Structure 1
Amino acid sequence: MVTKILIIFSLCLLGVLSQNSYVASNIQWSNNGLTATVNYPGNPAQPVVANLLLNVTFETPQRIRFKLTDSTTARWEVPDIVIPPSAPVTIKQAQYTVKVNSSPFGLTITRNSNGQVIFNLDPTQVFQYNNQDIILLNNLNYATNFYGIGERVTNFPILPGVYTIFSRDAAGPYDDGQPPGSNMYSNQPFYLALDSEGNSHGGFFLNSNAMDVFITSTSIKFRTVGGVIDFFVFVGPDPEDVITQYHQLVGNPVLIPYWGLGWNHCRWGYNNLTALQWAYNGYISNNIPIDIMWTDIDYMIGYQDFTLDPTRYPYDEFQDFIDTLHEAGRRFVPITDAAIAQTNYFAYNTGLTQNVYIGSANHPGALVGQVWPGNAVYIDWFHPNATGYWHSMMSQLRQVMEFDGFWCDMNEPSNFCNGECGYPEHYNNLPYTPGQTDLNTKTIDLAGTHYGGLIEYNVHSLYGMHMAINSASFFTDVLNTRPFVITRSSFAGLGRSASKWLGDNFSQFNWMAYSIPGVFNFNMFGIPLIGADICGFNDDTTPELCSRWFQLGTLYPFARQHNTKEAISQEPWMMGPTLLETATWAIRVRYSLINYYYYLMFSVSLNGGVVFKPAFFEYPGDANLQDVHSSDNFMVGSALIVHPVLTQGATNVTAYFPSDLWYNWYNGLPISLPYNRTIVLNAPLRGLVNIHMRGGYIIPRADDHPTAMTIQELRYSTITLVVALDAEGVASGGLALDDGLSVNTISSGNYTLMTYMYKQVSSKQGILSFTSSNHKYTKAAGEYPGVSNVVIYGCQSQISAVTVNGVSVMDNQQFDGTGNVCSAEIVGVHPDDITQLNFSF
């Protein structure tokens, strides 16, 4: 009997028992799309929305949008997220074809280049548009891997199952969709779909209400409790094509400050300034680079936002500490929580005066929840006074704490009560409940009221994004500098203003491994500055786990160590010599690559795309990379592949490589791949993570990485151009130069993009050219002093001369005939002054 009940419930959950009764009529085509009426015949009972309007728009050649809205009554629609096209494209320009089935209603979108269906609202399958239960099925009818649909700790690709999207304060657990309800902090209803031949397309459901997403091997279905159907389909056909097309819609990632790529350190539990200074001094005394020091809620008076405890963090002494950081080119970032303590102090009182709090559905005045300071109220980000209020509070905090970035936490928003403390919950008896979990769990009452007649039920998942955006605009609008804002909760489009970390993880090997898909996903979502708490936040780490996590985590775009006060100390020097050496080496490996990382970050801010990516983004036709080896390796940009150790006790790693030329990053030795392209790499605990460089690329390695203590110092370091030749003897790469701070760098064009191109013309001659696509940045004195060495991976003989216009510029050369690595020391030239170097062999 129990089995039968479960089967029936599962069928109902999947919508198998539902039918599509809608009929499309009055289909009107235009040159830029179509409209139609979509009606439910007869007189359906509530809650069916019977009269719909279909609007299909050819937004760009690679993107199509369709909306289904109530033609008689306005419904909630998410505002200010997507960037509309300057003008829709015509049918002839579109790289897709759309067809509408009239009875029953259906909608099919096909990619023109190969005739593949990339969206299919199948008229024979479920379609439902009820007031609080909308179902939209994309039935592809061919084998597909789906990626994205965040936020969760899960497999990559997503396993068949049911996945909930609704911002929620939940640190896991692992989510395999069986059952639903393991959703986490963010609301990201975007997916990438990939077939076995490497053809990709994408979909984005612009809806902020709670929803479940049903994944099978051939379909994806959305079931939401409100809003409208507003859906975008992206043609691809390559994975990165899909992502750049999506970023064109939600905005390219914000250009972060250069210093934001440095090493970050934090811990919850530095209960006074002495403890924070101890942590900082530990880095200095152990000769470990450090760029950004953070504080958790320890610094506050009673956990009240925008306060600084003068007893534990004396104002003058704390400012002296921050001045010390600044004088050394370092930065400081504090945490701020989402809720304002409901007590008699300036932040709460000012908010009352300006009426900026979410209202209660139970009584006049503000909705009351409970978090770290006790009773608390929440900002109504839709109120016209909210931004000014928030900036004023940040300004007051900065008068006693000269911070450089901002950390937004608890902004799902989190609440230690379910709903409003002391009152019955609302919306806890819905026709359908995503995740099979009360939506008020650990958050504020969904009946809470917002400015303009809005309710929390519709806007809940937007809270964290608005908190982060308003924090970011303080830096751009008030301080006139780039924002460095890290948030826990996010929604689509956050990345054009702020960044994120993966939240409260655990000190376990499997959580370390699952961080890789987490970073993949948020790169796809348009938030490339992303990372997990290195060594884990909750529970006690071990020297082995922490060492392995440093080897991996220092290559996250956002690299920060952080843990809870309940766990053991995990600063690099606190767990013995192995961790100390491994952590230091790992950070310095990152610093050697800092020019490459900044070039990648600059490029995605300019054009969209990803920085930290699954290897199938570069090799989409490789079926092994789509699934079996989808996340036991990763690529940084297009040039580097990394195979970290992800299991306890391992001293080697079985590494699968895409079909290409690969060289050891550290020494240039080529690897010889067997037929299955799988080899065993040595990976000692006290050592460096395995990184290999792809033939065809050039990376500008910072020469001073072994000694630099901040990445600011690396702006004044010479560089070695590491040239990895492909099978044709060609390689290319780039360098982005700007001041690292200005807000409007891209829009003003105040930057220089240097492009390097090497070509082996013959066995006796090679040419390395230097070109600039936007030579507008005026360097500060001593910045980027030039190329000191050129190292060539895959060369066949030693370099006999390097010349510019016939004049020798080579001082010394070396050649390793066993590994086919050659190098030349370059003297007396600067890429600003030349266009090419000529190599003789």
Structure 2
Amino acid sequence: MIIKSPFHTRVNGLFHTAISAVLLSQVAQAAPSDDFKTTENIAFYLRHQAFTETILQADPALSQENSGEMPHAASPYTVVSDSVYLNGHTLVATVQHDSTKVPLRVEVIFLKNGTVRVRAQEENPLLPRYDDTQKYVLRGEGNNLGYALASDLKHYRELVDGVKVHTVRYTNEHSAFSVRITEDPWSLTYLENNKPIIELNSKGRFHLEHLRPKPDPETIGDDVSGEWKETFLPFTDSKTRGPESFGMDINFIGFEHVYGIPGHATPLSLKTTNNEKDGYNMPYRLWNLDVFGYELDDPISLYGSIPFMVAHNIDTTVGVFWLNAAETLVDITREKRSNVDNDLPVVNTHWVSEAGVMDVFLMPGPSVADLYRQYTSLIEPTPLPREFALGYHMCRWSYLDQEDVLTVSEKMHEHDIPYDAIWLDIDYTDGMRYFTWDYSKFPDPVAMQKQLAHDGHKLVTIIDPHVKRDSSYRVWKEGNENGYFIKNNTSTKNYDGWCWPKESNWVDYLNPEASKWYSKQYHLDKYLDSTADLFIWNDMNEPSIFRMPEGTAEKNTKHYGDWEHRQVHNLYGMLNHRATFEGMLTRESPRKRPFILSRSYFAGSQRYGAIWTGDNIADWGYMRAAVQMVLSNNIAGMHFSGADVGGFVGNPEPELLIRWYQLGIWHPFFRTHSKKDTKRREPWLFGEPYLSIMRKAICERYRMLPYWYTLFREASLTGMPIVRPMWMEFPKDLDLFAKENTFMVGSSIMVAPSLDSDLTKPIDVTFPSQENWYNMYTHASYFAPIKRRFVTDLAQTLVYVRGGSIIPTRERQRRSSAFMKQDPFTLYVYVSRNDTASGKLYIDDGESYDYEKGAFIEREFVYAEDKLISRSSPFTMESAEHKAFLDKMNNVCIERVVMIGLTSQPTVAIIRENGAEREILLEYGNCRTGSKCVIRDPTVCIGNDWEIALN
């Protein structure tokens, strides 16, 4: 039975139904409820809604979402006269509410790349507000360290309709920017080339609840507004700091579509939240929670959150990053504003956070590439992962024992199915004591890992953040003795909770010493019987806590520095992920790249590993949602993401499982995972023809690994998403702005997955741009722009390559990526309408950080005027490490070049390399349209400059 509340869905109560029978009965008896909060239970949000109502009452025109001319906001916040001044790269102003008169310091900080940072808090707060989110998320630990600051700022003061307006202008190499601040009421407009693109407080919804002394209990009364105390079910949240929330309307001028703010199982183009007919009747909620079997098409909180939103129109792509880790809700509405020529679309958003400092970044783009340069200059891009992590991962709750693990591995070999890692869930431990083994099931973990490694495979074990409360358990004993656990609301005792091991405590990662201590638990001398071939899965790290409100830590529990959990909740999973990363990074010398999967995430998590979309269901709707969720994560910079192939809950029919494999190979993280009470679903169990189709899909992932690894290299340099919505590559095509049934993998490959249970239902594919598109497998070509409809059988997939692309592959089938490192490459050259093509290939050792010293090969391939040229990338570093890597890869060659779409049929290829020249006769194959030829065995070295001329 699925029970849906206005905000959340739960299956069979607050906890996973697959808890062992004994533990489930114990938990269920104590579980107070299976429900989650609705907006009616979120006091700070209701107070901001009430504040908004006062604005609307002051100016009813504001309530008309299609009111035409934008009305003048009735905000009670004004700039204090003569308080505005330019201090270097920062414009400072004092803003105050007309009634409370509490002075707020507003800082507008100008960065060189065009980004503007806006911060607000009390000038003299009664207590410090939590402001360390920037330390964990931003480059240089926040406070603008490491940022390129704008210079040559020009500050102008003028009167407009009797109101003082301040304008700051500056330029970069691409555009001219200006910020206009109006004093009464206070508002901010961000302009690019004199065109407004983002407005703050133009709807008058800026409101900051200033910190104040606690009134007498008699004065508080029932505290119906929830400022000092609120109750949810039997839980009471006492607030010693009182109300400290803030909100702001941020409005995108000239836009109809906004994207981002994952994770939610919602459409790619975000819906309005004030209209249940076309959207939702509730805001998007950002509050990381364990939501088992979550509802689809619902803005409920899920496992992770990134408060980054992107707006796009045919001219501009802009972004907003709301840097806050407290509970945050985002409302979205749309309207039309009267313009000289036509009605101008506007997307209005209203952001409300419970605590902290208001800290928001406005990024002007204007191109997609510009936007991601600006964004990753703040939060850092996704680094190069361990190469094996891009392969196929096999996981189940749980593989039973050591024999089961090795048998599954042998069966994969027997059926010629490559894989890179096999995973162990919680049952491998000694009674849920992490960093231990149940030796009755796994008598020799080291021998097991060595056997897997001998065949090119890795082992991944789960380590959850809860620590079993057991005085005989070394990890708990050390953590307890050193005070490393989160404390209760009086800061006097450990915060006690209940999770898989029953009574548990949670490490306080805000404590630097606690985080360092926890990291060391991953070292080989602490995590006994682990080896360098073992990697980590951090689950349940929202944190998920049974029997607690909404299944997570109470907001008034205390962290290091006397901060409450309410201020840092959304950071918790990321800090757990970070501590694990640092432990894995330092467990061996020289250091090697870790691989860690995390369920909970926040902005910054991309630095530490991969994430997945949580406990989904074996259902066609959840497969469709996986497309939306992975794209949204990539938009927000969380590139290394995927969904459990086949669904975690339930038993997929073979057709669904096959279609999910065919989709999953085109997501950055590729893992199958299933719940304990589901049927085993290793591919060979389904028999033919299903086994062959699944094998084909998995092998395709391995064939394309050179392309995937090169995409991760690009992301590490530019921040560009790895999988992309169609509009990112074709930004002026209006028909693609809300399209999500097809998506791009990099700039070259378009995937049109089959997402419907009716296998006879046609798939509509839009081929955009004035370009050729080629079916990756049949090489059939399509002359865009054109729309086509296809019906596929179960073995077929629709994958297309954009004309003008060069795709590197490795065609030899191996057991794992480890056995492919010395394999030759094949280049597929898909010729454009202009008879040109280009592409890249990046190679390093796939595991160390030697690439930072130049130990890599990065080639640029260009085809033009009947010549294919390989040249070194400008990022190539001439170093001893580079030379050593070249020597190591000296025997790795290009074994084939496949030319597709040639307009003529040359007969000979002339190969020029290292001053030598030779000829090869061309081979022509069947191709439905155009011309396809194969240059077989050119044997040019992958690390050399060379040229292939067609004659």
Fold-level similarity (TM above 0.5): yes
Comparing 360-369 with 466-475, which one deviates more in the overlay? 360-369
Query: Is the contact between residue 859 and residue 870 of structure 2 (CA under 8 Å) also seen in structure 1?
Result: no
Q: What secondary structure is seen at the aligned counterpart in 2 of 1:394?
A: coil
Post-superposition Cα deviations, 1:488-544, rounded to whole Å, max 9, x if no partner, equal 001111112222111111111111011112111222222221110000001111101
Q: Residue 766 of structure 1 aligns with which residue?
A: 867
Change (3 A) 1:775 1:664: farther
Q: What secondary structure is seen at the aligned counterpart in 2 of 1:790?
A: strand
Partner Cα separation in structure 1 for residue 147 and residue 286 of structure 2:
31
Q: Residue 98 of structure 2 aligns with which residue?
A: 41
Partner Cα separation in structure 1 for residue 330 and residue 772 of structure 2:
40
Query: Is the contact between residue 258 and residue 311 of structure 2 (CA under 8 Å) also seen in structure 1?
Result: yes
Query: Is the contact between residue 894 and residue 939 of structure 2 (CA under 8 Å) also seen in structure 1?
Result: no
Q: Residue 862 of structure 2 aligns with which residue?
A: 757
Which of these residues, 373, 377, 388, is aligned with residue 244 of structure 1? 373
Which of these residues, 292, 305, 328, is aligned with residue 187 of structure 1? 305
Change (3 A) 1:831 1:410: closer
Query: Is the contact between residue 75 and residue 227 of structure 1 (CA under 8 Å) also seen in structure 2?
Result: yes
Which of these residues, 20, 42, 55, is aligned with residue 75 of structure 2? 20
Partner Cα separation in structure 1 for residue 371 and residue 671 of structure 2:
29
Matched AA of 2:814: A
Partner Cα separation in structure 2 for residue 82 and residue 42 of structure 1:
35
Write out aligned runs for 1:636-785 (5 A). Answer: 636-651=745-760, 652-659=762-769, 660-672=771-783, 677-685=786-794, 687-704=795-812, 707-743=813-849, 745-746=851-852, 748-759=853-864, 761=865, 765-773=866-874, 774=876, 776=878, 777=882, 778-779=885-886, 781=888, 785=892
> TM-score, normalised on structure 2?
0.80
Matched AA of 1:260: A
- Residue 174 (structure 2) pairs with residue 96 (structure 1): no
Which of these residues, 105, 126, 136, is aligned with residue 205 of structure 2? 126
- Residue 330 (structure 2) pairs with residue 213 (structure 1): yes
Change (3 A) 1:414 1:817: closer
Partner Cα separation in structure 1 for residue 673 and residue 850 of structure 2:
32
Query: Is the contact between residue 153 and residue 172 of structure 1 (CA under 8 Å) also seen in structure 2?
Result: no
- Residue 580 (structure 2) pairs with residue 451 (structure 1): no
Superposition deviation, residue 14 in structure 1: 9.0
Q: Residue 576 of structure 1 aligns with which residue?
A: 687
Partner Cα separation in structure 1 for residue 480 and residue 552 of structure 2:
21
Query: Is the contact between residue 356 and residue 379 of structure 1 (CA under 8 Å) also seen in structure 2?
Result: yes
Superposition deviation, residue 173 in structure 1: 2.9
Partner Cα separation in structure 1 for residue 817 and residue 610 of structure 2:
20
Partner Cα separation in structure 2 for residue 784 and residue 549 of structure 1:
37
Change (3 A) 1:683 1:246: same
- Residue 259 (structure 2) pairs with residue 147 (structure 1): yes
Q: Residue 228 of structure 2 aligns with which residue?
A: none
Query: Is the contact between residue 669 and residue 793 of structure 1 (CA under 8 Å) also seen in structure 2?
Result: no
Query: Is the contact between residue 712 and residue 722 of structure 2 (CA under 8 Å) also seen in structure 1?
Result: yes
Partner Cα separation in structure 2 for residue 446 and residue 278 of structure 1:
46
Query: Is the contact between residue 798 and residue 815 of structure 1 (CA under 8 Å) also seen in structure 2?
Result: no
Change (3 A) 1:780 1:573: farther
Query: Is the contact between residue 205 and residue 247 of structure 2 (CA under 8 Å) also seen in structure 1?
Result: yes
Q: What secondary structure is seen at the aligned counterpart in 1 of 2:489?
A: coil
Q: Residue 424 of structure 2 aligns with which residue?
A: 295
Partner Cα separation in structure 2 for residue 785 and residue 187 of structure 1:
43
Which of these residues, 144, 166, 187, is aligned with residue 287 of structure 2? 166
Superposition deviation, residue 387 in structure 1: 2.6
Partner Cα separation in structure 2 for residue 168 and residue 116 of structure 1:
40
Q: Residue 937 of structure 2 aligns with which residue?
A: 826
> TM-score, normalised on structure 1?
0.90
Superposition deviation, residue 831 in structure 1: 4.2
Change (3 A) 1:117 1:221: same
Change (3 A) 1:200 1:175: farther
Post-superposition Cα deviations, 1:67-107, rounded to whole Å, max 9, x if no partner, equal 11211112111241112344411233354210101011111
- Residue 500 (structure 2) pairs with residue 463 (structure 1): no
Which of these residues, 613, 624, 633, is aligned with residue 502 of structure 1? 613
Partner Cα separation in structure 2 for residue 703 and residue 97 of structure 1:
53
Change (3 A) 1:321 1:694: same
Q: What secondary structure is seen at the aligned counterpart in 1 of 2:709?
A: helix
List runs of 5+ in structure 1 lacking aligned partners: 45-49, 419-439
Matched AA of 2:199: N
Partner Cα separation in structure 2 for residue 136 and residue 243 of structure 1:
24
Query: Is the contact between residue 923 and residue 934 of structure 2 (CA under 8 Å) also seen in structure 1?
Result: yes
Query: Is the contact between residue 812 and residue 824 of structure 1 (CA under 8 Å) also seen in structure 2?
Result: yes
Query: Is the contact between residue 476 and residue 743 of structure 1 (CA under 8 Å) also seen in structure 2?
Result: no
- Residue 460 (structure 2) pairs with residue 333 (structure 1): yes
Q: Residue 413 of structure 1 aligns with which residue?
A: 543
Q: Residue 433 of structure 1 aligns with which residue?
A: none
Query: Is the contact between residue 536 and residue 596 of structure 2 (CA under 8 Å) also seen in structure 1?
Result: yes
Q: Residue 898 of structure 2 aligns with which residue?
A: 791
Superposition deviation, residue 716 in structure 1: 1.5
Post-superposition Cα deviations, 1:102-157, rounded to whole Å, max 9, x if no partner, equal 01111111122xx4323212345222111433120013354421111121111111
Matched AA of 1:24: V
Partner Cα separation in structure 2 for residue 694 and residue 566 of structure 1:
43
Partner Cα separation in structure 2 for residue 287 and residue 794 of structure 1:
33
Query: Is the contact between residue 152 and residue 172 of structure 1 (CA under 8 Å) also seen in structure 2?
Result: no
Post-superposition Cα deviations, 1:290-347, rounded to whole Å, max 9, x if no partner, equal 1111111110112221111011111x2x321210111122111101111101112111
Query: Is the contact between residue 28 and residue 35 of structure 1 (CA under 8 Å) also seen in structure 2?
Result: yes
Q: How many residues align?
A: 789
Matched AA of 1:279: V
Q: What is the aligned-residue RMSD (CA, Å)?
A: 2.3
Q: Residue 273 of structure 1 aligns with which residue?
A: 402
Which of these residues, 350, 354, 359, is aligned with residue 487 of structure 2? 359
Q: Residue 75 of structure 1 aligns with which residue?
A: 129
Superposition deviation, residue 789 in structure 1: 1.4
Matched AA of 2:187: G
List runs of 5+ in structure 2 lacking aligned partners: 1-38, 56-73, 154-169, 210-242, 274-282, 335-346
Partner Cα separation in structure 2 for residue 799 and residue 703 of structure 1:
25
Superposition deviation, residue 815 in structure 1: 4.6
Q: Residue 344 of structure 2 aligns with which residue?
A: none
Q: Percent identity?
A: 26
Change (3 A) 1:141 1:611: closer
Comparing 62-71 with 395-404, which one deviates more in the overlay? 395-404
Query: Is the contact between residue 94 and residue 104 of structure 2 (CA under 8 Å) also seen in structure 1?
Result: yes
Q: What secondary structure is seen at the aligned counterpart in 2 of 1:283?
A: helix
Change (3 A) 1:354 1:363: closer
Superposition deviation, residue 798 in structure 1: 2.5
Comparing 528-537 with 450-459, which one deviates more in the overlay? 450-459
Superposition deviation, residue 782 in structure 1: 5.6
Write out aligned runs for 1:547-566 (5 A). Answer: 547-566=658-677
- Residue 430 (structure 2) pairs with residue 286 (structure 1): no
Superposition deviation, residue 837 in structure 1: 1.6
Q: What secondary structure is seen at the aligned counterpart in 2 of 1:54?
A: strand
Partner Cα separation in structure 1 for residue 575 and residue 740 of structure 2:
31
Q: What secondary structure is seen at the aligned counterpart in 2 of 1:671?
A: strand
Query: Is the contact between residue 799 and residue 824 of structure 1 (CA under 8 Å) also seen in structure 2?
Result: no
Superposition deviation, residue 802 in structure 1: 1.4
Q: Residue 343 of structure 1 aligns with which residue?
A: 470
Partner Cα separation in structure 2 for residue 275 and residue 32 of structure 1:
62
Matched AA of 1:210: E
Q: Residue 117 of structure 1 aligns with which residue?
A: 196
Partner Cα separation in structure 1 for residue 435 and residue 350 of structure 2:
43
Superposition deviation, residue 812 in structure 1: 4.8
Query: Is the contact between residue 715 and residue 784 of structure 1 (CA under 8 Å) also seen in structure 2?
Result: no
Q: Residue 381 of structure 1 aligns with which residue?
A: 509
